[in-house]
Each structure stands twice: as structure tokens, then as C-alpha cells.
Structure 1
Amino acid sequence: MASNLLKIHPSDNVIVALRDLPNHAVAEWDGQQYSLPYGVSAKHKFVTEDIDTGGAIIMYGVLVGRAKQPIKKGEPITTFNLAHDSQDYSTANRQPYTYVQPDVTKWQDRTFRGYHREDGRVGTYNYWLVVPLVFCENRNVLIMKDAFERELGYAQTDIYREHVREFLHLYQAGDMRKVKSLEVFTEQPAVKKITDRPFQNVDGVKFLTHEGGCGGTRQDANTLCALFAAYAVNPNVAGITVLSLGCQNSELKTLEDEIKKRDPHFNKPFFAFEHQKGTEYSLMSGAIKETFMGLTKINEFERADAPLSKLSVGLKCGGSDGFSGISANPVLGHLSDIVVGLGGQTLLAEFPELNGVEQELLNRCVTEEKAAKFEKLMRDYAGKAEAVGSAFAFNPSPGNIKDGLITDAIKSAGAARKGGNAYISDVLNYTERATVPGLQLVCTPGNDVEATTGQTAAGANVILFTTGLGTPTGNPICPVAKVATNSALANRMPDVIDFDCGPVVDGTQSIEENAEHLLEYVIKVASGELTKAQQLGQNDFIPWKRGVSL
């Protein structure tokens, strides 16, 4: 990688600035010189030729936009001179695709320490799950959460409560100067590892809340049941407690049917309680007793060696920047190819961020049936967005644009690199479970939490989340590791970032080398090393109501 510039694909007519380039700088790439009339910030791009109005901008080898006005050679692309456009796609236009699997010999005998389930899958963590079937029970779930976490040692260290306490003491002592200057707090305390928990083999009791289950559409209620069923069968969950009001649309029988659909031999501890059958006290006492008994049972599980073929890795990006498609996303792509080569699963989600690369993904599907399913899901999703005056083209956030992702097609072409080059073995609708090895496409929004929620439903037991701007996203039952696209971010937010792909940008590591370092880290996480999101107690959970969410 050149020190200041990068042209990603031979057919591209834009070059990426890896460092800030000043006004009137002369940039050189592959023997060609480009005079830059305006400064080009790092992560942004300038054109390599004069572009007329309506002319195509090509990046990653695909169409990513068209000029809204003439763009002179050396000028940067911006929201003022470039509009989103992307290549059309069709299953009927599929082309032959060949793929050479990377050599995975060095990884074949490697293992992680996980929890073996009776269905043959392996959990990276051993959690008990408590869920409400309707928002009416959120309060009771939170009461259970407080009781279990405090008494069983799962509560997070409340450093911010300590801040308020210290401020109060200073105020009462008449010393507001220290409060104003924050002199009492200079360093963030280290996260303490609790070793005196009574259930040493139970990694946590996870309590979910939501705003659904009744009052919305029946489709939303049924989807919520399907989502909880998918979480119940996830290998990271060993048992589940369900609180139901009794009259809501999301019925207990629907949940039970959805569980059996995903696992006909489901035999994890499963306890359900209906509020309208008695008092709140009887509901809560019964739920607490049975949950406690269940914890004693799942505490019998112990970590044991498992091959890397038992990994199911979610591939996600959020808070993306102009380096995402250059460093972290292709690093995930190479890691994905390794995991697939070992017989594991990788799950690529975020359908709004596959806009413009659909044809390549269609070509990579192992069967025409899988390709047709992907095309239908994409067109249905895009059609719903357009019907309400939105579109995939509106996906990039202000932060994305500021850091170089000018159109959704640019963002998508970079995001798709998380999927590497492997064949696509399956296409999953939201809440469908991954049942075969290989790279799979999972229909979710691009929204960070809705996507990670959906990937976990598909069966992910680890999620790798690339970010260029920084985001604290986590998940209740699936560890989410944050992968920085650049070292400046990794150094600025060390409490959030788990792994740094900056060495790819500065040229000290290749994509392949960085990916192998990342896989070593994944093995540690799968064996119980906590991610930063887990240390922070970042348990994000947002069900997708299948409406328009980009």
C-alpha cells in the first residue's frame, strides 16, 4: 500500500487519500501525476480523469455514483458533485464464479474452549435468558434483573454512581471547585474480574426488554416470538425464563411452535409464567425459584475443546469511515474465508449496505434458488423503503459522509468486503437459523443493533463489528468485538475497541497478516475472554418490526 494513496481496483477512476493532501499538491500513483486544485482529506477520493455530467464513478470495480456536474481530473468527489447510482442486478444475469480457498492447514488442529450442546453446536458463553413476551412485563423483568445480578455477582461495577456520591460529598463539604474541575477523576478504573460468583460456569443471566408484543401488527408479534425462539436455540443460551401477561398478541404457544420449528428436539430448561393467572407476587416468586433451580442445572456445563468449525461468526460494520472498505472490512473478509475453509459459518447481514454489489453476490450463490431468494428479499426491502419516500441511497449517515462515504454504493461496496470471496452457501430471512456451513447472507437492516440482534438470531456465537468512527454496540448473549479501521480510533477509544486494523493502512501489516492476528483474538473471545462491550455491560437488543429501517 502506498504511503499516501490507494487505488483499490484497476478499473476505478477514483483514488483514495490515505493522508490529508493539501491544496495544489501533486499526487502520484502508478507513474501518473495528479494536480489537486483542492485539498483532499484522508479517507476521501479524487477522480483520475475528467468526468462529464452523468458520467460514471467507479470504485471497487463497480458503479458507485454519477456526476451531477463536471468533475475535473484531480478534484475530490463530494455530495455536491456526485449522486448515488448503482448497477442493476438479476438472477437471470448470473455469471460463472470461481473461488480459490486460502490455505487453512495451520488452523485445522486449532481449538477454542466452548460449551458443547446436545444438538452438536458449541456455545462461546453459557447464559440463562429471561424475556418478556409483551412490554407489560418489562418492569418485572427489570426487578428480576436487579435481584439476580446483585445477589449472584453479575452486576456491573457502578463507577458512575460512585462519581455522584463523591460529588455529593464534595458539595456537602463546600468544595465545589473540585467538582467543577473534575480533579477527583483522572483515570478510568480497571474492570474487576469477579471470582466469587456461586455459579462459576454460568457466564451471566441476561434480561431482555422491548416495546412490542401487543398493539402492533400480528406480523410484528409473530416475528417477536420467532426472534425469541431463535435466541432460545442459540448455542450461547442454556436455559430460558419467559414472562407473559396472558392476553397479548405474542402468544406463548407461538413461541413454543417457533422453537420446535428451529429445533424439534429442543430440551433446554424452559420455564413460562403467566401474570393473569394470579398475583404479581406469585408470578415473581415462581419465576425466581425456577430460574434459580435452572442455574444450578446449567452450572454443570464446563468449557471443553471444540474445533474452529464450530464457530459461527457474524460480520458487521457500523460508524463506518473511508478506511472501512480498505482495512477492517477486507480483514474480516479474509478471516471469513479462513473460517469457511475450516467448515465454520460466517454471517453477512445489513441488506441496505449490499446496494450496488447485488450482482456479484448473486453470482457467488451456490444455487440459483439461493440467488433468487436473495434477489426477492433485496427487491422487497428496497421497494418498501421507496414506497414511503425513502431509499437505500439515503443510508449513509452524516458521520459516514464526513469521513468519505459519499454514496450508499460506495459504503456498500466497502461493506460487502466483510464477506470475503467464498461461495454463498445460504440466504436467510430475518430470524431464520443458519443450518449449513459456509458464508451466508442474513436479511437485517443496517441499523447497528437491529443487525446484531438479527445475526445472533441466525446463530452467531461471536460477532466481529468493524468501525471507523467508534461505537459501543454489544449484544446480551453474543460477544461483540469492535474492530477499528484506523489506529487513531483505537488509541482514542481504548475502552470500546478490541482490535486495531490500522497497521493495514500504515502498511506495516498485510490484510492477510492482520486477519490471522484477529482470528487468534477470536479464539480467545470464544474461549471466554471478555470483549470491551461485555466489560461495559453493553447488552443492546432491538427487534426489527420489518418496517423501513436503513
Structure 2
Amino acid sequence: MNTYLQIHPDDNVLVALQDLPAGTPIQFNGTSLELTKDVPAKHKFLLTDLKADEAITMYGVLVGKANEPLHKGDLITTGNIRHDTSAFHEKDDSIQWQAPDVSSWKNRTFNGYPRKDGQVGTRNYWLVIPMVFCENRNVGVIKTAFEKGLGFAPPEMYNEQVNDLVNLYKNGNLDAIKTYEPASVTAAAKKNNVFSNIDGIKFLIHEGGCGGTKQDAEALCALLAGYIHHSNVAGATILSLGCQHAQVSILQTALKKLNPSFDKPVLVFEQQKSKSEFDMLSTAIKETFLALVEANKIERQPAPLSKLVIGLECGGSDGFSGISANPAVGHTSDLLVALGGTSILSEFPELCGVEQELINRCVTENASDKFIRIMRAYESQAESVGSGFYQNPSPGNIKDGLITDAIKSAGAAKKGGTSPVVDVLDYTEYVTKPGLNLLCTPGNDVESTSAEVGSGANVVLFTTGLGTPTGNPIAPVVKLATNTKLAQRMPDIIDINTGGIISGEKSIAAMGEEILEYVIKTASGEATTKAEQLHQDDFIPWKRGVSL
């Protein structure tokens, strides 16, 4: 196994693939150096001497500048370098894309749920949605009733532990409580025994709908409309208080905008027009049950892989993300695009520094101009409140080698592969064009994943180097570890280990193909992701304020 790596021939830093102690001699392309300090795995050290303000280059792009004179063999840190990126401008080049060979997948299908509008779902869910946070309690009542009644409730493995502790306490056995070790139980997704073709009822509880701006209400309604219109959803039950900003009429307008012929069942119940809370909830439960009977008639059927829409997401990233999981996912995206499918790359603060490459990959000037406009507006908004993209890396990112936003972004962008950018979408806009789409979202894991699914992703590929349990209510989220240590340490949340790329056991292309095979199994309902097994139904709408 190699102990260090140069990612791009133009880079003046090397990445440590394992812990390297100070004094380690390095020989690389005719250059000899000695490490001046310990270099932890995932971190970077200089290949050349630098003067103050000279450029740090990774992935072939500017990712920072030296704060002081630095020497080859020095570890780069937040103290000795600072974030910096190259300016971007209008499209000045057209990149010729060499699509990967997809002959072995040409006639492949997945078993999905066909919808009347031509979309194909990877799951078949019913949604229950509050228009405003005031209805969250009522949604919770319906949630408890249906999940227990239909067998969708999460495993009650922790209830037994509490019961054991209660019994020990009642018997006065405090010493036994201190040494109590619960039996190890693996969560398992329950399959209801009433409606065999329904994968679950999902509840999009949120804290919005009123008290914010008109734009907040409109954005929330647009996001909720995307979920109802989504290929994985058969229909929805809506609970409205009545007086909130996020009116049902705004939601209905948003649905018609997505599909003028929209005809999925949407059941609306307004509390301020009801005789009583009991009457509203009882009626909602009865009518939802009848709707489930109809939704259960939809069965999985073979569908071409071109009907897949994958979200490309990362969270809890580390210094290996950009050289293992992210480029592997990028190859998966390229394979799917070559097959006529769709992928969505989001997290605009994590595209900082690679804008020009993406601009040049846009197939139209309208798309490239829109990307430029959104990126500049987003950065300007962040700076107006004393922040900026440079503040994006989290403490965990920095600890594991992503010490500037540009370093993080250059690696994060690898999830988008190399295919042309067919469209640029603002937040809550729904995908309409097959190929790679850019979607404006924050870097926040859940806000971004929620948005990707709201824009049509029916499977999400989520890479993580530190371990992130993020899931989604209606789309399976496949979690990919960037390194083997993480996969072994957190097997309960990781679906695929891409650490073999770091050890040299697997190529990026081979890993990308393996991921696509898993996507097909997941889309067909043959594989259940760890996030689904754990009922990790994360959903956070973005209020369009500054969120990085």
C-alpha cells in the first residue's frame, strides 16, 4: 500500500494515506524531502517550498495560500495556510465528455412503482403532512395510530432495556444498574402484514408554515409539493390549522406547476373548520385508510435504469472523501447518465473553487449563467451577515484534513463525476432533464438531502468519512464510508465501504460499478438501507437564510 498520494499532477501537496511520523523520508518524482512534523492520515504536506501568499494547489485547483514562508515536508494547517480560490466567469470552454462503457447495463431494469405521469418510484409511501407546526401534535397522533396498527412502528429494542432497569430499581439493586449490559439487538425494518405493496406511511413534521416571511411559506409549500409529486409517493394527507401563512391553496398551486395534470389523491383536513379535533383526526384516519387500500393496488414492475434519479450527497466528510467515496460515486453518476438516467449534485457552498469547471461543463449558456448568478448571490448573502463559504468546514472536517472550504469543495465536487451539466436548479425546482443537474442547497446534510429528494431523487448516495446517520422519509439513502476503519467501527449505519480504493485493492471505476449494482438492488426493494432499518427519517426545509 502506498503511504502518500498526489491527487493531480499539478498539486504541490501530497496526502498522507496513513500516519507518518516526523522525519519520515519522502521520495516523489525526483524530489526528496523529510517530514518536519507528524502528519496524520488524511492530512497534507508540502512538496515544495513556498513564500508567503504563494498558492496551495490540490485537485489541480487553487485551494489556499500560505500565511508565511513554508518548506517542503511541512504539514499544512489552519494556522499556516488560509482559504483562497480562483475567480470564475462566464463559460469560456466546452468540455468534450467521453462517456463510460455501459454495454453490460444496456438491457438492465429495476423493479419499481410506475406512476401515471411517467415517473417510476423505488418505494411506495403515503405521506401525512402538517401545513404548519401547530399541527405537529395531531400528526403525531395519526403517526402512533397507523404505525402501531399497521406494523410500521420502529423496533422497540430499547423499551426492554428501560423495563429491565425499572425492575432492577424497584428491587433496590442499584449496583446491578451500574453494571447492566443490554443484549445487542440489530434494528430491522418491519414489513406490514396489511398492505403488502405499501412500504410505509411517512410524516413530514417541520417547524415552519407561519411566523416567517411570505417567501418562507412559498418555499415550504414548493418543497412539500415536490414530495407529494415525487415518484416514491402514492398520495398524501394534509393537516392544516387554517390561519397560517402556508395556505393549502399555495401548495395546490405548486402541485399544478409541477404537473398541470396532477391527479394523485391529496386529502385535506382543516382544524378551524372542523367540529372538533377528535372529529378531524377520526375522519382523517378513516379516509387515509381507504386511500391506502387503493395505493396498495400499485405493484412493482420492471423499469429501465433511465428512470432512476440519484442524489449525490456527502456529510461528515474527511480527508479521504475526495479520493475514495466521492469519485466512486461520481463514476456511478457517469454510468447512470450514460444510460439516460438522472443525477443531482447539490451543496453549493461545497462547490466553491471549482465553479469554472462546472460552468464549462454546462451544455447551455442559460444553465451556466444561472449557476453564476445563484453562486454569487449565495456568497454575497453569506458575507452580508459576516460569514462566507470559507466558514463551511466543520470542526470534524478540519480535524480529519479538510482545513479550507476550497479543499473540502474540490473533493466534494467529485461526486458529480465528469458528465456534462444539463441543468441548474434553484431550491425546490424539480428535475425535468436526464443527465447531471446542479441544485442550489446549503451544505447542511439534512437540508441538502431533503432538497435533493424534493427535487426528484428516488435514491440518494451519501458519502461520509466520519460517520453520519442521515436518512430521508421517502427515498432510500445509501451510506458509503470513505475508509475501512469507519466501515468497521460503525457497521450499523454504513451500507458500502469504499476504503479499498485507499488501500489499493479496488479502482474507482470498479467501486463505481459496484455502487450502481447496489443502487439497482435498493431501487428494486431487494436491499434495505441501514438508514431505512433505523427509521432515520430526517427532514429539514431550508428557510433560505444563511445556512452553510
Normalising by structure 2, we get a TM-score of 0.98
Secondary structure of 2:116's match?
Answer: coil
Letter in 2 for 1:437: P
Letter in 1 for 2:151: G
* Cα pair 1:5 1:29 within 8 Å, conserved: no
Secondary structure of 2:196's match?
Answer: coil
Once residues 527 and 325 of structure 1 are traced to their aligned partners in structure 2, the CA distance between those partners, rounded to angstroms, is: 29
1:281 maps to 2:278:
yes
Letter in 1 for 2:385: V
Per-residue deviation, 1:498: 0.6
Per-residue deviation, 1:283: 1.2
1:215 maps to 2:215:
no
Letter in 2 for 1:54: D
Match of 2:11 in 1: 12
What root-mean-square deviation, in Å, do the aligned CA atoms of Structure 1 and Structure 2 show?
1.0
Once residues 183 and 486 of structure 2 are traced to their aligned partners in structure 1, the CA distance between those partners, rounded to angstroms, is: 21
* Cα pair 1:424 1:438 within 8 Å, conserved: yes
Residues 243-285 of structure 1: CA distance to partner in whole angstroms, max 9, x if unpaired?
1111111111110000000011111111001110021112111
Query: 1:166-245 residue pairs with structure 2 within 5 A?
Result: 166-183=164-181, 185-187=182-184, 189-192=185-188, 194-195=190-191, 197-245=193-241
Q: Residues 110 and 452 of structure 1: is their aligned pair in 2 closer, same or farther, counting only changes over 3 Å?
A: same
Query: 1:252-401 residue pairs with structure 2 within 5 A?
Result: 252-278=248-274, 279-401=276-398
Once residues 415 and 189 of structure 2 are traced to their aligned partners in structure 1, the CA distance between those partners, rounded to angstroms, is: 32
Match of 1:151 in 2: 149
Per-residue deviation, 1:195: 4.8
Number of residue pairs matched?
546
Q: Which portions of structure 1, spanning 4 or more consecutive aligned residues, are displaced by more than 4 angstroms? A: none
Letter in 2 for 1:295: L
Letter in 2 for 1:63: L
Residues 482-529 of structure 1: CA distance to partner in whole angstroms, max 9, x if unpaired?
100001000000000010000000000000111111111111111112
Normalising by structure 1, we get a TM-score of 0.98
Secondary structure of 2:218's match?
Answer: helix
Match of 1:117 in 2: 115
Residues 282-306 of structure 1: CA distance to partner in whole angstroms, max 9, x if unpaired?
2111111111111000000111111
Q: Percent identity?
A: 57
* Cα pair 2:122 2:523 within 8 Å, conserved: yes
Once residues 107 and 446 of structure 1 are traced to their aligned partners in structure 2, the CA distance between those partners, rounded to angstroms, is: 32
Secondary structure of 1:90's match?
Answer: coil
Secondary structure of 1:359's match?
Answer: helix
1:38 maps to 2:51:
no
Secondary structure of 2:463's match?
Answer: strand
1:247 maps to 2:254:
no
Match of 2:518 in 1: 521
* Cα pair 2:240 2:269 within 8 Å, conserved: yes
Residues 24-81 of structure 1: CA distance to partner in whole angstroms, max 9, x if unpaired?
1102223432211111110000111111100000000000000011111110110000
Q: Residues 311 and 99 of structure 1: is their aligned pair in 2 closer, same or farther, counting only changes over 3 Å?
A: same
* Structure 2 spans left out of the alignment, 5+ residues: none
* Cα pair 2:191 2:199 within 8 Å, conserved: no
* Cα pair 1:452 1:475 within 8 Å, conserved: yes
Secondary structure of 1:272's match?
Answer: strand
Once residues 309 and 400 of structure 2 are traced to their aligned partners in structure 1, the CA distance between those partners, rounded to angstroms, is: 31
Per-residue deviation, 1:196: 5.2
Once residues 198 and 450 of structure 1 are traced to their aligned partners in structure 2, the CA distance between those partners, rounded to angstroms, is: 33
* Structure 1 spans left out of the alignment, 5+ residues: none
* Cα pair 1:45 1:77 within 8 Å, conserved: yes
Match of 2:53 in 1: 54
Per-residue deviation, 1:186: 4.5
Letter in 1 for 2:193: R
Per-residue deviation, 1:178: 3.0
